[in-house]
Structures are given as structure tokens and as C-alpha cells.
Chain A
Amino acid sequence: MSDAQTTQIPVTVLTGYLGAGKTTLLNRILSENHGKRYAVIVNEFGEIGIDNELIVESDEEIYEMNNGCVCCTVRGDLIRVVEGLMRRPGRFDAIVVETTGLADPVPVAQTFFMDDDVRSKTRLDAVVVLVDAKHLPLRLKDSREAEDQIAFADVVVLNKTDLVTPEELSKVEATIRAINPAARIHRTTRAGLALSEVLDRGAFDLSRALENDPHFLEAHDDHDHHDHDHDDHDGHHHDHDGHDHHHHAHPSDIHDVTVQSVSLRGGEMDPKKFFPWIEKITQMEGPNILRLKGIIALKGDDERYVIQGVHMIVEGDHQRAWKHGEKHESRLVFIGRELDAERLKKSFDACQAA
């Protein structure tokens, strides 16, 4: 890791609907004795009664870039606040950005990639979403933001599990998995989980995420039961055209969910084919891709290559050497809308090294 990276301040984005438990978690982050100082950026000064921490109000200003690309958005208030905070380093160790329940998480995350000033001084550590286990099905019906928040998350805190039956809980969890197979899910009551599961995760930093979770991107394997739930779906007409729900394409069986994920697996990739392919896919499908994450085995390369993206922005880097005996396998997950799973799979397969 370069010096630049080690001096970048980690940023945790905390999101989730009103009432999901954000403030409870935030209060714990601010008041528990973890030896770290946090600067907290909030949309509104709420009832967070904290006086010995640095809390800054922001305005949720979304800028659409003037280059004709509607998916390239950033948040101007975050740029200003982060820039201001970073002029006085040493006051805090990390930043938590709390977004209101209706906030679109995309411009928040993109700000940390697209704005040079912010990017050079901070690194997005993880997007953490609080989900109310009882009210999620309702939220998914009435708002696209709730779904986007989950699609975007690196860590899902599935809260208020005491308010639902075990059946409801596993259904909610399956729904979250259907939207985002790459996120870590923690079941909690009163946002009660170790803060180390939320903070300084390096979850957005894929290399760390992969170290932390060797089963990253393998979540589908645990969730075959999801396919079975499908048929006893209560009486709604279901026009899935009889396509098979195999591992690769994962459209949801929940009517109100429009986000899908496509998980791809393959062997070693030909770098001369893979890089032009991912570039083309993200250029063409960018607006439909919320997140993409992957680990790629490149032919002739003895290091794992990790790749991640938000809309049309894709970043990749070498992570570490393949371990002795480790299978040189490529895994890639797209989370988005209107993704053509078959086409993605075919074109991905075509990038494999001969």
C-alpha cells in the first residue's frame, strides 16, 4: 500500500431509512470507548446529543456533471465539508457520513471516486445500511431508495430482528441477498453489533473485503433455497417467462424489487480481452450498474486483480500474489437494473484465456 493510501482518512457512509436505527448506531459510534475520534457529517442536526465530537451539518446537494452523462453525479456539500475538514487533519481519525433515509447513495459514493480533492485525501471504507427487518418489505414497495441503499451496501445491519418471526426474518434476508449478494449481513436488535463489524472495515476497499471474507461473492451458493420460495409466492401473477434461476442470473422473486445481480465465474482471463470488455460494458451499461465487484485471475499474472465500480467508474488494482494451491478463478458480480445476464455471461466467458 502506498503512502498516499495510508494517509487517506477512512470514511464510513451510514445510510438506511428513518427509524431503521441509524441514530442508535451513530450514538454508539460516538460514545463508545474505542479510542478513535470521528468527525460526523449529518444532513440535519437531529437529536444526537453529542457535544464532544465534531458534527457538521450538510445540505445534500447533488451535482449532475455537465458532460451529458446523467449517472455522473457527486454531492457538492460533501466536497465542501470534506475539503474543509481535511485542512485541519489531526482533529479526528475517521469520518462518518450519515445520510437521510431518502438520500440516494450513488452520488455519495461517487463523490469519493470522482472528485479529485476528496479522492486524494479520503478513502471510502464502507457503505453501511441499516435495515428495519419488519418494515423492509413495505419500504421496497414504496421507495426505490430503500432498494438502492441495499444494492449499494458493503455491510447490511439487519436490525429489529426481534420484531419479526424467524420465517419473516429469513425471507427478508433472502430479499437482501437477492438485491446484493456481495454484502455482509449482520442480524441485530437495537443495532447491537461490534463496532469493528461496521467501522474500519476496508469493505469498499475490495482487497480488504476479500481478506476479511473469503466467501465473498459466493453467497449464492448458500441461497439456493431462494429458488424454492419462489413458487409459493402469494397469488401475484409472475411473469418470469420460465427462465431458470441458476446461479448466474439472479432476478428477484419479489415484485417490488427491480435491482438484480449477475454473478459471473470463470477461469483465467486474457487481459487483452478482459479490460476492453469491462470498459465497454461499463460505458454501455454504466447507468444500469449500481455496483460491480470482482476478483480476476489474469493469465500470466501471479497476482490477484481486484476490480470495483460505481456506474461508469471502474477501478482495479493488484491485490496480492495467488497463494500456493489457490485456484486461479475469476469472480465478478454486477448489481444493477435491466442487466442482460445472458449477454454478460457470454461476453465474460469470451474473455477467458485460451
Chain B
Amino acid sequence: MPTVAPLDLDGHCVAAVFLGDVPHFALADGTIHRLDHGHKTAQANDGLLAAFHDAANDRLITGGEDGKIFSITAGGNAAELASAGKKWITCVAAGPQGAVAYASGKVAFVRFADGKTKEFMHPRSVEGLAFSPKGMRFGVARYNGATLHFPAADGKPVELEWAGAHTGITFSPDGAFLVTTMQENALHGWKLADGKHMRMSGYPGKVKSLSWSAKGKWLASSGAPAAIVWPFSGKDGPMGKAPLELGTRGNAMVTSVACHPSQDVVAVGYDDGMVMAVRFADAKEVLLRRPGKGAITSMMWDREERRVAFGSAAGDCGVIDISA
């Protein structure tokens, strides 16, 4: 039976992550709470809007209402990386060799590890950012499609068009596919080798959480009363295939998904605060946490694959230990 170590906070949890092996919880007011031999806090942005877990560098990148970019490392060490003036930072991402991307309005910025920064103007607002897993390419989700930039070189960007507002973006771990979340209740995908489109629709709600399974074989998503898990193992991804529907509940919506680091298992968080783990192969479910005060907004597995950190919109956060 899994056990839950709760951390009851007051505020919307934007990101629940492990830094080192310490669970950290970044709240919308910019405080970073951690369970490190007791409850401790640090301060990042004045108003934290976006967060990205930079696994390669074991840090959390945040952006906020104060126009600043912070890097938070284990132990709650918050350091200002950059500032973009008084406009809100709406999205952040981390890439190879310590690069960080962030966006404010129509401009996306890439800050390299040496502190040099490059700007990329767009005709409309930048809504989502993601680096490709290999190389220095990064994708921008925007109105009517996505743009791929090559920040280290001066090459022309690649424009991927698809009508509608694209609000978030992710590359598959092998770099073969690009997937965006949309303002409409749908995902859109491109096979980068030939630009083929993938429409993934039928969600009753907006998709806000995406998680790639081990080796990128599956893409789990929120936005339905079940975790919708698309198969990406074939060369054409999910084209012409039906997704798995895992952890289906009649009275709750899935708001957050986090795939297990090595197994085909997904942690599924719901709008009532419940968390389940579900196995892909047989859809077997294990209850990890009973419903709480608010919708689950963020989850992450630790490196030992033993614990799940979670946070909610109401601030009831905590760590689930599945080995107990």
C-alpha cells in the first residue's frame, strides 16, 4: 500500500519536482518549498508563471510576472539567470549544454550557458517552447502552427503550419516527432522527417499535461476522464491507431500525467486530487492517493522510481512512496 507524506501549502503548485532526491514544490507566488529534513522554503520569482524541469542539469527553470528567469537547484538555491523587462514570462524550457529558452509576448529568447542571449521575433505570441533532445534546435508553439529555430547557427527557421492556436509543444525523445497542445481540445503532431500531420482529437477538455513514456514509445496526455496514451513506436507514430485510455473515471477529469522513468506505467492525477498508477499492458490500476482539495497540477517520479512528488491547484502537495 503506497504511503503519502503530505505537505499542505497555501497556493497553486506550478511544479512538483525532485532536485537531487529532495522533493521541491514551486508555487505561483514564487516560493519554492522543499521537504529536506523538514519543510524549508526559498524565494524565486515575484509571481511564478512557468516552470520547466531541466533533468540534465538537475534544476528547475522558472519564469514569472517579474520578467525574470530563475534557476533553482537542489537545496532550494534560487539564482536569477536573466531578465526580460516588465513583461510576463509565459513559458520556459531547458536544452542541451546548459541552454535555456524563455518567451515574453512575441519574442523567444535563448540564453546559452556562457550568458550570451539570442532573440527570435514572431508575428504572434509565443505560447510554448521546447528544445529538441539532440542538437540545438528549439520549437515554438504559436498561432497557426509551430516554428523550428536553430539558435546556434544562422539558418532559416522551419515553419510548420496547422490552423488554430497552439499553446504547448514537445519533441519525442528520439526527435522524430513534434507534438503541440491546442486551444481547441486536441493535440497536433508532425513527423519531422516528412512533415506528415497527425491529428489527435476527441478530448472533452483542453490538454495541459503531456508525458513521454520510457524511450518515447507512448505519449500520455490529460484532458479527458482517462489518461489518453498515444502509441509512437511505429515509424508513423499514432497515425491510424487508437490511443489507450487508462484510469477511466466517470466523475473526474485527468489534469496531470507523469510516465514512469523505465516501466510502461503512468501516474494519473485528477481534478479532485486523486492519483492513480496505471500499467499500459493490462490497464491495471493502483490507487496512490485519495482525492484531496484541488486538481493535480504537476507530478514527477524520482530517479529511484520509488516516489512520486505531486502538487495541486489548492496547494495540497506531497510525496507518494510506492515501495512502502
- Taking beta carbons and an 8 Å cutoff, which residues of A are in contact with B? 56-57, 59, 61, 63, 65-67, 74, 76-77, 79-81, 84, 87-88, 115-117
Contact = CB atoms under 8 A, between A and B. Distances in A.
Interface string B39-70: 00000000101000000000000000100000
Contacts of B184: 65-67
B49 A63 contact: no
Given A65-B184, A87-B14, 12 more contacts: A56-B88, A59-B105, A59-B106, A59-B125, A63-B164, A65-B183, A79-B183, A84-B65, A84-B88, A87-B28, A88-B12, A88-B28
A77 B183 contact: no
Contacts of B49: 84, 87
B165 A63 contact: yes
Contacts of B143: 61, 63, 76
20 contacts: A57-B87, A61-B124, A61-B143, A63-B165, A74-B183, A76-B165, A76-B183, A79-B183, A80-B90, A80-B125, A81-B88, A84-B47, A84-B49, A87-B12, A87-B14, A87-B28, A87-B49, A87-B313, A88-B11, A88-B47
Given A88-B29, A88-B47, A66 B205 contact: no
Interface string B61-95: 00001000000000000000000001110100000
B294 to A, nearest CB: 11
Nearest to A65: B184
Nearest to A117: B206
A234 B219 CA distance: 68
Contacts of A57: 86-88
Contacts of B316: none
A59 B12 CA distance: 25
By CB atoms of chain A within 10 A, which of B143, B183, B205 has the most? Answer: B183
B176 to A, nearest CB: 25
Interface of B: 11-12, 14, 28-29, 47, 49, 65, 86-88, 90, 105-106, 124-125, 127, 143, 163-165, 167, 182-184, 205-206, 313
A61 B29 contact: no
Nearest to A80: B90
A45 B145 CA distance: 29
B319 to A, nearest CB: 22
Contacts of B183: 63, 65, 74, 76, 79, 115
Contact of B127 (A65, A76, A84, A117): A76
B317 to A, nearest CB: 14
Contacts of A61: 124-125, 143
Contacts of B205: 116
User: What is the interface of chain B mostly: helix, strand, loop, or mixed?
Assistant: loop
B206 A116 contact: yes
B174 to A, nearest CB: 28
A81 B104 CA distance: 12
A95 to B, nearest CB: 15
A39 to B, nearest CB: 11
A74 B164 CA distance: 11
Contacts of B182: 66
A61 B167 CA distance: 13
Q: Which 3 A-B pairs have the closest CB atoms?
A: A66-B164, A87-B28, A87-B12
A116 B184 CA distance: 10
A76 B182 CA distance: 11
B164 A65 contact: yes
A77 B167 CA distance: 11
A63 B167 CA distance: 11
A81 to B, nearest CB: 8
A302 B206 CA distance: 38
Contacts of B87: 57
B188 to A, nearest CB: 9
Contacts of B127: 76, 80
B11 to A, nearest CB: 7
A67 B313 CA distance: 30
B225 to A, nearest CB: 14
Contacts of B124: 61
A57 B183 CA distance: 21
A56 B87 CA distance: 8
Contacts of A59: 105-106, 125
Contacts of A66: 163-164, 182, 184
A66 B143 CA distance: 11
Contacts of A65: 164, 183-184
A56 B167 CA distance: 20
A79 B183 CA distance: 10
Nearest to A88: B28
A331 B167 CA distance: 41
A234 to B, nearest CB: 45
Nearest to B65: A84
A67 B185 CA distance: 11
A79 B105 CA distance: 13
A87 B87 CA distance: 17
A88 B14 CA distance: 11
B69 to A, nearest CB: 16
Contacts of B165: 63, 76
Contacts of A79: 183
By CB atoms of chain A within 10 A, which of B12, B87, B163, B165 has the most? Answer: B165
Contacts of A117: 206
Nearest to A76: B165
A118 to B, nearest CB: 11
A84 to B, nearest CB: 5
Contacts of A115: 183
Nearest to B205: A116
A116 B125 CA distance: 21
Nearest to B28: A87
By CB atoms of chain B within 10 A, which of A74, A79, A115 has the most? Answer: A79
Contacts of B105: 59
Contacts of A116: 205-206
A89 to B, nearest CB: 8
Contacts of A76: 125, 127, 143, 165, 167, 183
A57 B184 CA distance: 24
Nearest to B313: A87
Nearest to B29: A88
A9 to B, nearest CB: 14
